[in-house]
Amino acid sequence: MEWISTKVELPCEGERVLLYTPFEVFGDDHSCIGNQEGIRNCTVSVQGEMVPVFTHWMPLPQWPVVPAA
């Protein structure tokens, strides 16, 4: 899987994805799980201009298969 620029494409509505931000709003992680709404609505002030917090996203991996106990 590769990161997809939010300028190129957004995830489907309601799809949960891994989001990346170059800003330290989440500390050193620079990532969180979110969706299209978070990409569209989260902004941060940079030199007095409001810019999107998230610049890239990627689909979440499949859940692991856990054997029944």
In a domain, 66, yes or no: no
What pTM does this model have? 0.84
In a domain, 69, yes or no: no
> pLDDT at position 47, please?
92
Cα→Cα distances 19→23, 48, 65, 69, Å: 12, 24, 24, 34
In a domain, 31, yes or no: yes
In a domain, 64, yes or no: no
Condensed to tens digits (0 to 9), the pLDDT of residues 2-21 reads 999 999 999 999 999 999 99
CB 26 within 8 A of CB 32: yes
Range of the domain at 13: 4-59
* Domain count within the chain: 1
> pLDDT at position 28, please?
80
> At residue 61, does pLDDT exceed 80?
yes
